[in-house]
Structure 1
Amino acid sequence: DDFWGRFEGVAEAVKFNHGRAVKQMGTLGRGNHFVELCTDMSGSVWLMLHSGSRNIGKELAEHHMAIAHNLPHNQGLVDRDLAVFVADTPQMAAYRNDLYWAQEYAQYNRAIMMGLLKGVVRKEFKKAKVAFEPEISCHHNYVSEERYDGLDLLVTRKGAIRAGSGEYGIIPGSMGAGSYIVKGLGNEKAFNSASHGAGRRMSRSEAKRRFSVRDLADQTRGVECRKDSGVLDEAPGAYKPIEKVIDQQRDLVEVVAKLKQVVCVKG
């Protein structure tokens, strides 16, 4: 279709991975990506998942970062990661083309997984005649073209989601803590944004050094999930308390529902 047809227009350096990108569409990935079955305070059941643009998005990002690092105007920076593309240049145009394609890939990826998950629930609970409410879908770690104070801007939400007035969002905690469904308050001083999640208290390597399998089991008690050494870096103790994170952004969002996971699947 048109989406895969536009893959021909992305950076030549990643085109060899077309087959892998196709195969990974509709898959979870590792790290903090998850699929969860949750309940809220009213007893309603929620299906929630978190994933992105998989390996192809990572490769496109690394390709363009390497180009930016070598541009003349980015030489001598205190931090190489501050390298930028200049507006209205071929490099910026190529970056935006690939960026938007990868963001669309991420959206399709999540939609396919949610469709599969709904199908499983319908199949396993036929007698319950399961009905689903409209989905809440929000990007994270992405770029959006928006207008503030009369200026057209590229807003980069790293570790953030959009929280425009009345817009629904999802702010997950960790695999042992709750998550929140929120509605944006449209705070333009924060560029209509809110946090993407609880955020880490420590690095993945530090979490692996600090926590044991027993710690992980204790911290995820009551949740059906992996409790092995392969996910120690995702131990709830490695993340900030989600309640405090939510409380500190009351001027950005209002809480619609608090969720508690029953099942958490990590990639």
Structure 2
Amino acid sequence: MDTPITIEEIIFLANVPENLHTAFLRVANGLHERAKYPKEKVFLMLVKMLNDPKKYAFSKNKLTNLAKTVYDLRKSGTEITLTDDGKELIYNEEAVLTLEEKEPQQKNTFQLREDKLHYAVFGKEQIEEGALQQMETAVSLPISIAGALMPDAHQGYGLPIGGVLATEIDKVIPYAVGVDIACRMCMSVFDISPDYLKREPHFLKKILTENTKFGMGGETSRKYDDSIMDAPQWEATKTIRSLKDKAYRQLGTSGTGNHFVEWGIVEVFEDDPLLNLPKGEYLSLLSHSGSRGFGGSVANYYSKLAMQRTILPKQAAHLAWLDLNTEEGQEYWIAMNLAGDYASANHHEIHNKMAKSLGEKPLKIIENHHNFAWKEQLADGREVIVHRKGATPAGADELGIIPGSMSQPGYVIRGKANAASINSASHGAGRVMSRTKAFSTTTRSQMNKILQDNSIQLIGGDLDESPMVYKNIEDVIAAQSELVHVLAKFSPRIVRMADANRKEGRED
């Protein structure tokens, strides 16, 4: 039996109010420790109950009393809503059942190596102890070849967010890619003076709200280019086929958490041939999101599968891998790469619609993944799979975007191919507090003052993405001067995020 269920795990699935924490823990751990239910089954039971408390409140079951409390709260106007991860559990129930019905295969048990690999840490003074401990575990895997930790790093699941891990060329770790596969950045730079933001803020805000959809239920019927759905990989596996319709409906939408689409001003500092933009200031559109429900479902399915096939010590359990020489490993690799193409198409949908509404074609489009696995060569020539979970590719002459927060600037960078960082850089500023802590220690008035002081208009958003919950982006950029060369600075002005009542989502 593994460790007791914590309130942090439950809050990850639903916004349970503090006065019910004890009740939820009592029920959850009663099922887990006394009834011997696996954690995953307990979590699924809880989210199904929260999704339909009336059904559970008026039938005899192990959650009846808790369901009655939740149902009474709902009748009084207090809703306990599921996070994206909680909703995905319900959506993935069929996939989980299919997984359990698979013919049992031999499990392989591994121990961690005693001779931990040395790994580079950039901006160590800014990184929490939990992230460092997770990286220590990651480089102790028997399949690990090299590792690095970026200055925006903070604790996540399995590999820390901001972690880079190179493994043997035929081993891929789903949780080291992340739940939001191929989460990425995309920037369109227009040949329009920044003064346009002052002259036409209402128009820019209007087309921003008309051409974006956020949240778990976000879907669009109007497509600009849906040719990504013609890719033959959509027919490659049963899992992918089952998700195709949902992926089509969500094409051109954004997630929750730290995902955004925003107007701002980009200042190009120098005439760089790779960026190919004259020095000066431009109106720009910047977006951040990933592969939506498709990528999340793929991640959940194959992470569970990896943990069934590869048995590791408790502290490393989420770093279970799939072998690319197996059918399951190949299935994940195909699905992950398809999620990458889909995430790119997702951004292009938004940017194309915005450009059409604006009546302008962009001078330049810059984009990059930061939750992905690539087949690459290390400086010594060894072929490896490089997992970047919340890290930006920064190879020789690679362009990338490192955003700040809703009030802090972001930066367009060119990689320096630093071998110690495994050709990587940070993917943002990095959090200094959890979402739960953000809600309990920050206020809307504090956030609004920062936005006002920085001339930011916010549409949607909530305290868990307030500027106070992020590190200072200037410190993070300074800590990676060996990794990237800064070419341009993006300053946000009109920011669109998921509405507050739909924002208890994941981060990447």
Whether the 8 Å CA contact 1:212–1:232 is kept in 2: the answer is: yes
Structure 2 residue aligned with 1:8: 235
Which of 475, 478, 489 aligns to 1:258? It is 489
Please, what TM-score do these two structures have when normalized by structure 1? 0.90
For residues 77-117 of structure 1, give each alpha carbon's deviation from its aligned partner in whole angstroms, at most 9, with x where no partner exists: 43311211134122211111111111111111111111112
- Runs ≥4 residues deviating over 6 A: none
Q: CA contact under 8 A between 1:77 and 1:83: conserved in structure 2?
A: no
- Structure 1 position 50 matched with structure 2 position 280: no
Is structure 2 residue 296 aligned with structure 1 residue 66? no
Identity %, equivalent residues: 33
Letter in 1 for 2:485: E
User: 2:251 aligned to 18, 22, 25, which one?
Assistant: 25
Counterpart residue type for residue 64 of structure 1 = Y
Q: CA deviation at 1:14?
A: 5.5
Q: How does 1:108-257 map to 2 (within 5 A)?
A: 108-122=345-359, 130=360, 132-148=362-378, 149-221=380-452, 222-226=455-459, 231-257=462-488
SS at match of 1:142: strand
Which has the higher mean CA deviation after the structures are superposed, 176-185 or 35-44?
A: 35-44
Paired residue type of 1:143: A
Mean Cα displacement is larger for which, 170-179 or 217-226?
217-226
Q: Give distance in 1, aligned partners of 2:295 and 2:476.
A: 28
**What letter corresponds to residue 8 of structure 1 in structure 2?**
E
Q: Residues 150-207 of structure 1: CA distance to partner in whole angstroms, max 9, x if unpaired? A: 2221111111111111211100000011111111111122111111111111111111
| Structure 2: segments with no counterpart, 5+ residues | 1-226, 268-279, 499-508
* Structure 1 residue matching 2:494: 3-state secondary structure: strand
Contact 1:27–1:109 (Cα < 8 Å) also in 2: yes
* Candidates 83, 93, 110, aligned match of 2:320: 83
Q: CA RMSD in A?
A: 1.7
Deviates more, 1:37-46 or 1:197-206: 37-46
Report if the CA contact (8 A) 1:181-1:257 is conserved.
yes
Structure 1, 199-208 or 243-252: larger mean CA deviation: 199-208
- Please report the TM-score for the alignment, with normalisation by the length of structure 2: 0.48
Asked if the contact 2:374/2:387 (under 8 Å) is kept, the reply is: yes
How many residues in Structure 1 have an aligned counterpart in Structure 2?
A: 256
> Is 2:355–2:361's contact at 8 Å kept on the other side of the alignment?
no
- Is the alpha carbon distance of 1:177 and 1:15 closer, same or farther for their aligned partners in structure 2, counting shifts above 3 Å? same
Question: 2:31 corresponds to which residue?
Answer: none
Q: Aligned-pair distance for 1:20?
A: 1.6
> How many angstroms apart in 2 are the aligned matches of 1:167 and 1:155?
16
Q: Which amino acid aligns with 2:373?
A: V
Structure 1 distance, partners of 2:367, 2:312, is 39
Whether the 8 Å contact between 2:413 and 2:488 is mirrored in structure 1 is: yes
Cα distance per residue 1:114-172 (max 9 Å; x no partner): 111211222xxxxxxx4522211111111111111222211111111111112111000
Aligned-partner SS, 2:337: helix
Native 8 Å contact 2:240 2:335 kept in 1: no
Cα distance change on mapping 1:131 and 1:107 into 2, 3 Å? closer
Separation in 2 of the partners of 1:51 and 1:79? 27
Contact 1:74 1:84 in 2 (8 A): no
> Which blocks of at least 5 consecutive residues in structure 1 are unaligned?
123-129
SS in 2 for 1:220: helix
- Offset of residue 15 of structure 1: 3.5
Amino acid at match of 2:403: P
Task: State the shift of 1:216 in Å.
Answer: 1.4
